[in-house]
Amino acid sequence: MIDLTVKDALNAEGPLENVRIRGWVRTRRDSKGFSFLEINDGSCLKNLQAILDADAPGYASIEDANTGAAVAVIGDLVESPGKGQAWELKGRELSIVGTAPEDYPLQKKRHSDEYLRTIAHLRPRTNKYSAMARIRSEAAFAVHRFFHNRGFHYVHTPIITGSDCEGAGEMFRVTTLPPGYTADKDSDYHTEDFFGRAANLTVSGQLEAEPYALALSKVYTFGPTFRAENSNTPRHAAEFWMIEPEMAFYDLSMNMDLAEEFTKDLLTSVLDASADDIELFARFVDKELMSTLENIVSQPFERVPYREAVEILKQSKQTFDYPVEFGTDLQTEHERYLTETHFRRPVIVHDYPRSIKPFYMRVNDDAGDPETVAAMDLLVPRIGELIGGSQREERLDVLEARMDECSLDKAPYWWYLELRKFGSAPHAGFGLGFERLLMLVTGITNIRDVIAFPRTPRHLDF
Ligand code: 4AD
Ligand code: MG
């Protein structure tokens, strides 16, 4: 007997005797003398149909093969006379591995995304969320392949940090639990300091990736990042995954080239590797998904200096809730106007005012515009900001002056400053929000639905 996944069974090259399929029952139909089971094991979108004769061993427990039950069926894989599938399993033996009583929350009907969020532990058993999980896995693999093929090295940057990369103060504090703490009773946070100084969950791996770029030349990180921003939007999560390449000897324009190539490569790779799963989203979630993605991968992205973007927004006939001036951060409404109405394609806005950007971005003084820094944001239709990045300030004196300007205590950054003292070199990098990429590629509009167990303000149910 051999164990087969549903995917391998459906792609079999010929009939196979004595195979075992294990998975979860989607539906059962009983006829006189036999039953049909639709079995799904998450290996692909499709189910495998198994037919069980009433005289098969184990058939006595067929009533327990309800929607949601875990089953194992041993039988022969034979050509299916039915439409829509090449193969079906002619079962010879049924075992119920785990029953699912009538209160199984995923009965066969359409459930809203809101309801499914309340059962995040079971939603991967629906077509939509199992497809999402497979796409997410393929996309992660595509990230590694992209960088691996280009000579980048994967660096694991720490989760616990002593610095605030983005300088926005939106961090979660790490504390230890008081002695005698038990999980069943709430207790106050422990005040004793484990590290001897304040520690936070990282908002970005960039500061720790930079030393590795200035040693291995081309590196990237890919890991969870945390932001305690209290913005309850469909595009922000308190825990999200970020991909951050960092390259020595790159300037802003090379950084933009890489960001564009990376975005297009990820979309193309996922469209190719997850064609069936993407099609589900194109049919049921966003009818324009394919043309949107096609439009993104087939044309060059627009590049506009921030100053010019502000002029475009000021001159547009659209009225915005937030007026724009040089020095204001672009809001979602502005990002959407640029990508969806004005340019109708992804747009990289670059050279932002220094007043609204973090300390580490390179000042454009030698380009004659000291009021701006060599920053870039990639904006895409429907999502807004997908990537944020910059060329880094490699000049010690300018960096120190910028830190003063941002009222930063330089002491904890002593190591970061040393990089500008010992073998400093121009370098650049960016961060791509992995969940936002998944929203783009599936047409899903809420970040809570592209990550297994979303963490957002006032929500920690799992
Ligand atoms: O623009 P951000 O804040 O840039 C940085 O953190 C840089 N240190 C990255 C770098 O240069 N290495 O964040 C980068 C991206 C955003 O463009 C967005 O896609 C995503 O991370 N992002 C979030 N995604 C989900 N929820 C949030 N709260 C996010 N905040 C940022
Ligand atoms: Mg940003």
Q: How far is the CA of 56 from the centre of ligand 2 (A)?
A: 61
Q: How far is the CA of 379 from the centre of ligand 1 (A)?
A: 12
Calpha distance 202→161 (Å, rounded)? 6
386 close to ligand 1 (CB < 6 Angstrom): yes
Q: What are the pLDDT tens digits along the chain (462 aa)?
A: 999 999 999 999 999 999 999 999 999 999 999 999 999 999 999 999 999 999 999 999 999 999 999 999 999 999 998 888 899 999 999 999 999 999 999 998 889 999 999 999 999 999 999 999 999 999 999 999 999 999 999 999 999 998 887 887 899 999 888 777 777 766 666 666 789 888 999 999 999 999 999 999 999 999 999 999 888 899 999 999 999 999 999 999 999 999 999 999 999 999 999 999 999 999 999 999 999 999 999 999 999 999 999 999 999 999 999 999 999 999 999 999 999 999 999 999 999 999 999 999 999 999 999 999 999 999 999 999 999 999 999 999 999 999 999 999 999 999 999 999 999 999 999 999 999 999 999 999 999 999 999 999 998 888
165 close to ligand 1 (CB < 6 Angstrom): yes
Compute φ and ψ for 410, nearest 5 degrees. Answer: -75, -20
- Stated pTM of the model: 0.96
What separation in angstroms does the CA of 458 have from each of 112, 141, 239?
Answer: 21, 32, 13
Q: How far is the CA of 388 from the centre of ligand 2 (A)?
A: 5
Compute φ and ψ for 140, nearest 5 degrees. Answer: -65, -40
How many C-beta atoms surround the C-beta of residue 151 within 10 A?
A: 9
Calpha distance 217→231 (Å, rounded)? 36
Q: How far is the CA of 26 from the centre of ligand 2 (A)?
A: 42
CATH of 2-98 given 1.10.1530.10, 2.40.50.140, 2.30.40.10, 3.30.200.20: 2.40.50.140
164 close to ligand 1 (CB < 6 Angstrom): no
Query: Which residue is associated with the tokens 């239709």?
Result: 381
In CATH, what is the architecture of 123-449?
Answer: 2-Layer Sandwich (3.30)
pLDDT at res. 189? 64
**Going by C-beta distance under 8 Å and a sequence separation of 6 or more, which residues neighbour residue 233?**
332
What separation in angstroms does the CA of 361 have from each of 245, 305, 366, 373, 419?
Answer: 15, 16, 14, 6, 15
Q: Which residues pair with 23 in a beta bridge?
A: 71
What is the 3-class SS of 62-112, one letter each residue? HHHCCCCCEEEEEEEEEECCCCCCCEEEEEEEEEEEECCCCCCCCCCCCCC
**Going by C-beta distance under 8 Å and a sequence separation of 6 or more, which residues neighbour residue 271?**
278, 293, 441
451 close to ligand 1 (CB < 6 Angstrom): no
pLDDT at res. 187? 62
pLDDT at res. 188? 64
Number of H helices, E strands in the chain: 12, 16
Pocket test for ligand 1, best of 385, 393, 450 (most atoms within 8 A of CB): 385
Give one word for 169, left, alpha or beta, with left for phi > 0 and alpha for psi -120 to 50.
left
Q: How far is the CA of 227 from the centre of ligand 2 (A)?
A: 12
ipTM of the complex: 0.99
CATH 3.30.930.10 region(s) of the chain? 123-449
Give all strands (DSSP E) within 115-217, no chain letters.
153-154, 160-161, 200-201
CATH 2.40.50.140 region(s) of the chain? 2-98
Q: How far is the CA of 387 from the centre of ligand 2 (A)?
A: 7
- Tell me which residue of 139, 109, 105 sits closest to 121, measured CA to CA: 105
Which H or E run contains 8?
A: helix 6-10
- Tell me which residue of 63, 68, 69 sits closest to 97, measured CA to CA: 69
**N residues, the chain:** 462
Give the ligand with the smallest distance to the CA of 436.
1
Residue pair 261/301 in contact (Cβ under 8 Å)? The answer is no
pLDDT at res. 165? 79
As a whole number of Å, the CA-based R_g of the chain is: 26
Pocket test for ligand 1, best of 147, 165, 204, 377 (most atoms within 8 A of CB): 204
